[in-house]
Structure 1
Amino acid sequence: MTVARLGWLGALVMGTVLFIADERAMVDTANPNFVPSVILLGAAVVPTAFVLFVAERRLPYDVPPTVVFVTALLGGVVGTVVAGFLEYHTLLRLGVLPMLAVAVIEEAAKLLVPLAVLLLTRYRQPADGVLIGVASGAGFAALETMGYAFVALVRSHGSVTALEDILVLRGLLAPAGHMAWTGATAAALWAARLTGRWLRFLLVFVVAVLLHTAWDSIGTLTGYVVIAAVSLVMLGILTHRTAAASRVP
């Protein structure tokens, strides 16, 4: 897969400009027809830019852009639907849904499409796992943010401030959340498929679940920053190991 260098920066700048223009048009005209595009741009710009950023790393990707796009789309739809269904029925049975259960369900749901790619396609280079995982996490994060933004708008009786707060906060943090966790676990999954080190994959999955649980439980900006740093470092280490392994003759 070949991507222009710094394409991620162009996508981020262009997407941000479009989001601001769309948001200003919505506010200045008080036209609710702009709401869907504002939510879409606010939820998708940063995840899209981060996928491009990962795709531009010096890794021997074999997976084509079309598969990455389909993974993001299906990863988002399948992941959110499966996670929502399981969380709902678990809540009905238990009467309460612990944050740990939410994290396990969502981290597993986001891996369904990457697992299908691994088993049903020929894209099994270790680097492909990193990119496929990040793409699946991006789709999940974008759709989840869109849902939260819509709910915030309804509950606040049309407050633009409430809408913007959700879009900006979740948009900025998306790479350090769902995208980093699923990118790391998918990278470990691809490596395990080649090396048979399934215990390492399980360990990475458990760490992702614990980080997800902490993220959902902590509720402070400082806590988010710390968890974001740990999550991105984990993704960076696994990506570095993937690059190093790819250079071995």
Structure 2
Amino acid sequence: MIVLSFSLIAMMQAAGNQAVMPAAFFYGAAAGPIALLLAIHDRIHIATSVPAMTLMGMFLFGGGVALLLGGYFDSLFISQKNSTSILRVGWIEEPAKLVPPLAVALTGRHLTKAAGVALGLSCATGFTIMESMAYAWKSIANNGGAVGAGTILLIRGLTTPFSHLVWTGLVCAVAFGAWQIRGRAVVTIPIIAAFMTAALLHSLSDGLLILDIPQPARLLFLVVAAASYWLFHRATRDLRPQAAPATEP
């Protein structure tokens, strides 16, 4: 997908065919998140815990709703004049990404830990792909050119799987794990702790990338990404692939 994205950008630069720009942006934005989804499914087979149409709806519409909510409240509470306001982003976008999975949980369906992780990752994937494409279009609008936009997509494609996806996956793993036991959606201390951890990691990650700090300190972003994935992995390590049904000889 990354190769195809850059091939489309190269063709666009050479031939001047701007019509392929959305496809180039989509492939670049989706490469990293899709790769992580496949790796997680290969480990715990979460995609089999929820009907395919539900996951597709969570990806397309859940991600869109999360972006709608996150974008609206970002515009209210994030100021271009106050750089430190970027530290509020985690407390805005993390709740936004949890709204669609919570809406499903409140119906009483798919109240299992595996299903919650699948729903959360699907919603976060839709959110992060569309957000990455938005950053690419913003680069074009700021005269960054297609190559600059492609560079942004490459960087985000390598980083967002270990940020947006695992933060939402972490909270959903803890929440749906508790709801599976209780049989309904309730607020518990572990769920609040997981949410606060995800929001703090999100804000810290954004702060390290955007605030005016020494360049060596920005490398701590990699530490935040590694810690985020480690927490998600620990929260889901009890999930096991479902055994395939035996087939008759």
TM range (shorter): 0.7 to 0.9
- Mapping 1:48-127, distance limit 5 Å: 48-59=34-45, 61-90=48-77, 98-120=85-107, 122-127=109-114
Q: Residue 237 in 1 paired to residue 222 in 2?
A: no
Residue 130 (structure 1) aligned to one of 117, 138, 160: 117
Secondary structure of the residue that 2:73 maps to in structure 1? helix
Work out whether residues 39 and 167 of structure 1, in 8 Å CA contact, stay in contact via their aligned partners in 2.
yes
Work out whether residues 28 and 153 of structure 2, in 8 Å CA contact, stay in contact via their aligned partners in 1.
yes
Structure 1 residue 96: deviation in Å? 8.2
Instruction: Name the amino acid aligned to 1:235.
Output: F
Work out whether residues 12 and 20 of structure 2, in 8 Å CA contact, stay in contact via their aligned partners in 1.
yes
In structure 2, C-alpha distance between the alignment counterparts of 1:25 and 1:91, rounded to whole Å: 37
Work out whether residues 19 and 41 of structure 1, in 8 Å CA contact, stay in contact via their aligned partners in 2.
yes
- Mapping 1:192-203, distance limit 5 Å: 192-195=178-181, 198-203=188-193
Secondary structure of the residue that 1:120 maps to in structure 2? coil
Residue 178 to residue 159, structure 1, CA distance change in 2 (3 Å): same
Give unpaired runs (5+ residues) of structure 1.
1-14
Aligned to 2:199: 209
In structure 2, C-alpha distance between the alignment counterparts of 1:137 and 1:114, rounded to whole Å: 10
In structure 1, C-alpha distance between the alignment counterparts of 2:127 and 2:195, rounded to whole Å: 17
Structure 1 residue 136: deviation in Å? 1.1
Give unpaired runs (5+ residues) of structure 2.
210-214, 244-249
Structure 1 residue 91: deviation in Å? 5.0
Work out whether residues 104 and 209 of structure 1, in 8 Å CA contact, stay in contact via their aligned partners in 2.
yes
Secondary structure of the residue that 1:50 maps to in structure 2? helix
In structure 2, C-alpha distance between the alignment counterparts of 1:132 and 1:54, rounded to whole Å: 13
Structure 1 residue 121: deviation in Å? 5.5
Aligned to 1:143: 130
Structure 1 residue 30: deviation in Å? 2.1
Secondary structure of the residue that 2:158 maps to in structure 1? helix
Q: Size of the alignment, in residue pairs?
A: 230
Aligned to 2:247: none
Return structure 1 stretches of 4+ with deviation > 4 angstroms.
none
Structure 1 residue 128: deviation in Å? 1.1
Instruction: Name the amino acid aligned to 1:145.
Output: S
Deviation sequence 1:112-150 (CA, Å, 0-9, x none): 111112222521221111121111111111111011110
Instruction: Name the amino acid aligned to 1:114.
Output: P
In structure 2, C-alpha distance between the alignment counterparts of 1:144 and 1:162, rounded to whole Å: 16
RMSD after superposition: 2.5
